[in-house]
DNA sequence: CTGAAAGCGCTTACAG
DNA sequence: CTGAAAGCGCTTACAG
């Protein structure tokens, strides 16, 4: 439609071809290096020149080619999200946060799921990062906890930010979620409600958060003089189905627990299901506390009491750390609040 | 660790640098063009040569540079998922399906959310697609329904597959979900259960599926001699919160509906919430039928009767269409089953 | 503040 | 079946 409007500026352009930096340079009557400087916001361009070049860029509808830039820069404009998390809800929330941070940065997000137990995991990740020459990588749990992967990233000189419940790396490449604090709060809460025969459904051993949340929970109970009985601990896999299995085991104990704390919300819903199937009413017959506070926690019935983790914010903050150097900031010194999980009391846990 | 093992093959390689196609060519004693042929699986390479080259590639740990290949090919190895869907669950499911199809293809997935009502939408998408020279794009609803976006993709010569409830394009770039069929089934089901004063919470007008599902539902009811009263139709936004609002409106009518069909599951959960708040028991006092059959449909209580859409499969099939030409197949003639939504009867709807 | 040359690591015609 | 040359569209030193 507006082809004619730009005829003057497009003079000499081959039809059907995208304008390149050469076209911009020719029409703006500068060298392509100067155009490159304008694109990359170099300060060494006279204001007048910059304006003229930007005007031509605008008129031509010029968009720098990511492949060509990447080839010359030896680095792409792609951020990788490498994950193995079994909870799609967790992943999608974090992904949204990462995208929040990337918006307007010129970087794009490549999602790369993988299987941590796969024999080819390390080779796969190496190929992915090397081939795409990623700008950087974000690693949610439990990918963040695999030192073989970290080793590869270091070797390939690929910046990364790890998200984990405890610190595993230097501040600039680490986002700590302090899960022991939230779990301790859950423990104190259940103890305060008068529970003492309490069950715990742990996440899988592969996740640091499983042990950290379990440890924090024990700690919180201990503060109130309660000891978690190992017979009342079941190991799940952070999935709904595993929550179902673990709940069956725990509720078959004699005497059964009066309350159950689960390593994440997904498994808490599994407890909900088993309780209903057994004719137990929550919270009257069984108190349940989850972890993560996914959106669904406040949509199920009864509303799930859960430890809130700001998953989306975590994704955003991790991405901001990754982008910090590009903005001339020190990733270790961003003015980011520490992640402090906190208990959201709803209706699924009550006094004994 | 194994550095020494490869010393022979790495002879002459600059330390600390990734091997390039030149290194492979030199060590295998062929031209780089031949190496390129092996990488791209050209049939015009002698078996013996191919084996030798692959061996050197293996020994060197050579990975072709995606940027360089993209620059030469004038096309990247990235597939874009451009979406504006308000339901994170829907998106994450579809995304998983797309990733299923991409696994092993050498292509990576770039996720690109956007706001359809934004003034810069078209320009944003143009810049994204042009800059990344995308291999192709997948468009879930309602992005799939925006003809301005399609126009840009055609102009940029970017292959795409649209996912929508009705056909909007040629078979090769279209995945039709036939939503009228599933909605009609929901209508017949509620009618068969004896309901006649039935509410409908529609999706937003921007989504074709809203009208298609509404139309199918009316059709199904009509088959049973029931007419949907416009006073019992509320318009939502496919979100939980909008479901809450719409349910409040419908349940405040005098007389209130005895059953509600919602345009998606997310809004059905909103109805669940309002019913509970009003002291109504589902399904005794109110029957509810949803659409999509997200995993959570079978995790809430009572289990939600819902029209099942194989969202993950849809993502996979759409991606397979996109990849078909690369595999020498005609995307219009893939042996894919048609998407047939079907009602999954659970516990949230019962006889009047 | 600006530019001409060389190069990033691949592939596409074009020959042979 | 194989290769030498040119080019994809940018940026990095290096000069001026």
Secondary structure class of A115 (helix, strand, coil): coil
Q: Is residue B351 part of a domain?
A: no
Cβ of residue A99 closer than 8 Å to a chain B Cβ: yes
Statement to judge: residues A296 and A207 lie in one domain: yes
Cβ of residue A130 closer than 8 Å to a chain B Cβ: yes
Q: Is residue B172 part of a domain?
A: yes
Q: Is residue A155 part of a domain?
A: yes
* Furthest CA-CA distance within chain A: 86
Confidence (pLDDT) at A23: 86
B351 contact partners, CB below 8 Å, separation of at least 6:
B193, B194
Q: What residues of B are in contact with residue A67 (Cβ under 8 Å)?
A: 67-68, 70-71, 76, 133
Q: Write out pLDDT tens, residues B240-283.
A: 999 999 999 999 999 999 999 999 999 999 999 999 999 999 99
CA distances (Å), origin B120, targets A8, B126, B207: 25, 10, 20
Residue of chain A nearest B303, judged by CA positions: A273
CATH, residue A263: 3.40.50.2300
Q: Is residue A348 part of a domain?
A: no
- Which amino acid residue lies closest to nucleotide C12, measuring CA to C1'? B72
Please, which pLDDT band fits residue B47 given cuts at 50, 70 and 90?
A: confident
Please, which pLDDT band fits residue B5 given cuts at 50, 70 and 90?
A: very low
Predicted confidence (pLDDT) at residue B159 exceeds the cutoff of 90: yes
Please, which pLDDT band fits residue A7 given cuts at 50, 70 and 90?
A: very low
Are the beta carbons of B299 and A240 separated by less than 8 Å? yes
CATH, residue A17: 1.10.260.40
Predicted confidence (pLDDT) at residue B44 exceeds the cutoff of 50: yes
Q: Is residue A253 part of a domain?
A: yes
**Which residue among B63, B113, B127 sits closest to A99, beta carbon to beta carbon?**
B113
Statement to judge: residues B189 and B302 lie in one domain: yes
Statement to judge: residues A185 and A293 lie in one domain: yes
Q: Quick one: average pLDDT of B216-223? A: 98
* End position of a domain, from candidates A38, A64, A90: A64
Predicted confidence (pLDDT) at residue B292 exceeds the cutoff of 50: yes
Q: Is residue B244 part of a domain?
A: yes
Please, which pLDDT band fits residue B15 given cuts at 50, 70 and 90?
A: low
Statement to judge: residues A183 and A302 lie in one domain: yes
Distance CA B82, CA A347 (A): 38
**B219 with B187: CB under 8 angstroms?**
yes
Say what percent of chain B tops pLDDT 90.
78
Statement to judge: residues A184 and A305 lie in one domain: yes
Domain that residue B190 falls in: 179-308
Q: Write out pLDDT tens, residues A85-143.
A: 888 889 999 999 999 999 999 999 999 999 999 999 999 999 999 999 999 999 999 99
Q: Is residue A338 part of a domain?
A: no
Cβ of residue A300 closer than 8 Å to a chain B Cβ: yes
Distance CA A66, CA A72 (A): 10
Please, which pLDDT band fits residue A45 given cuts at 50, 70 and 90?
A: confident
Predicted confidence (pLDDT) at residue B45 exceeds the cutoff of 70: yes
Statement to judge: residues A205 and A263 lie in one domain: yes
Interface probe, candidates B67, B290, B311, chain A, greatest A C-beta count within 10 A = B67
Statement to judge: residues B150 and B194 lie in one domain: no
Statement to judge: residues A290 and A144 lie in one domain: no
Say what percent of chain A tops pLDDT 70.
95
Are the beta carbons of A299 and B240 separated by less than 8 Å? yes
Q: Quick one: average pLDDT of A201-230? A: 97
How many angstroms is C1' of C13 away from CA of B75?
18
| Number of domain units in chain A | 3
Query: What phi, psi does B202 have (nearest 5°)?
Result: -85, 155
Q: Write out pLDDT tens, residues A162-184.
A: 999 999 999 999 999 999 999 99
Q: Is residue B338 part of a domain?
A: no
Q: Write out pLDDT tens, residues A137-154.
A: 999 999 999 999 999 999
Please, which pLDDT band fits residue B8 given cuts at 50, 70 and 90?
A: very low
Predicted confidence (pLDDT) at residue A258 exceeds the cutoff of 70: yes
Secondary structure class of A262 (helix, strand, coil): strand
Cβ of residue A205 closer than 8 Å to a chain B Cβ: no
Confidence (pLDDT) at B328: 87
Statement to judge: residues A81 and A188 lie in one domain: no
Q: Is A15 exposed, middle or buried (0-12, 13-18, 19+ CB in 10 A)?
A: exposed
Cβ of residue A71 closer than 8 Å to a chain B Cβ: yes
Statement to judge: residues B186 and B170 lie in one domain: no
**A343 with A183: CB under 8 angstroms?**
no
Confidence (pLDDT) at B101: 97
Sheet containing B305-308: which strands, arranged edge to edge?
B233-235, B198-202, B259-262, B287-292, B305-308, B342-344
Q: What residues of A are in contact with residue B126 (Cβ under 8 Å)?
A: 63
Statement to judge: residues A252 and A262 lie in one domain: yes
Statement to judge: residues B156 and B255 lie in one domain: no
């Amino acid at each position: 439609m507006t082809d004619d409007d730009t005829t003057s500026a497009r003079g000499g352009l081959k039809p059907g071809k995208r304008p390149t930096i050469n076209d911009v340079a020719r029409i703006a009557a500068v060298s392509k290096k100067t155009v490159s400087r304008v694109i990359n916001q170099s300060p060494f361009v006279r204001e007048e020149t910059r304006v003229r070049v930007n005007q031509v860029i605008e008129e031509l509808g010029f968009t720098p080619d990511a492949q060509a830039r990447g080839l010359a820069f030896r680095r792409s404009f792609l951020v990788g999200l490498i994950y193995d998390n079994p909870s799609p809800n967790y992943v999608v929330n974090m992904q949204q946060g990462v995208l929040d941070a990337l918006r307007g940065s010129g970087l794009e997000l490549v999602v790369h799921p993988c299987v941590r137990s796969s024999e080819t995991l390390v080779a796969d990740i190496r190929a992915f990062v090397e081939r795409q020459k990623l700008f950087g990588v974000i690693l949610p749990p439990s990918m963040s906890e695999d030192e073989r992967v970290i080793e590869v990233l270091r070797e390939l000189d690929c910046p990364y930010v790890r998200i984990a419940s405890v610190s595993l790396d230097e501040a600039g490449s680490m986002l700590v979620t302090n899960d022991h604090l939230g779990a301790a709060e859950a423990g104190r809460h259940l103890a305060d409600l008068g529970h003492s025969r309490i069950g715990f459904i742990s996440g899988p051993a592969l996740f640091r958060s499983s042990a950290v949340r379990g440890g924090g929970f024990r700690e919180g109970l201990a503060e109130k003089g309660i000891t978690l009985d190992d017979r009342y601990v079941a190991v799940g896999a952070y999935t709904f189905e595993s929550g179902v299995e673990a709940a069956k085991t725990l509720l078959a104990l004699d005497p059964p627990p009066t309350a159950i704390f689960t390593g994440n919300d997904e498994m808490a819903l599994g407890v909900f299901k088993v309780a209903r199937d057994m004719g137990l009413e929550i919270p009257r017959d069984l108190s349940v506390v989850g972890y993560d506070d996914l959106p669904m926690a406040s949509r199920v019935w009864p509303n799930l009491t859960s430890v809130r983790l700001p998953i989306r914010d975590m994704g955003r903050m991790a991405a901001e750390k990754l982008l910090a150097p590009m903005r001339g900031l020190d990733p270790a010194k961003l003015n980011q609040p520490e992640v402090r999980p906190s208990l959201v009391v709803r209706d699924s846990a009550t006094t004994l």
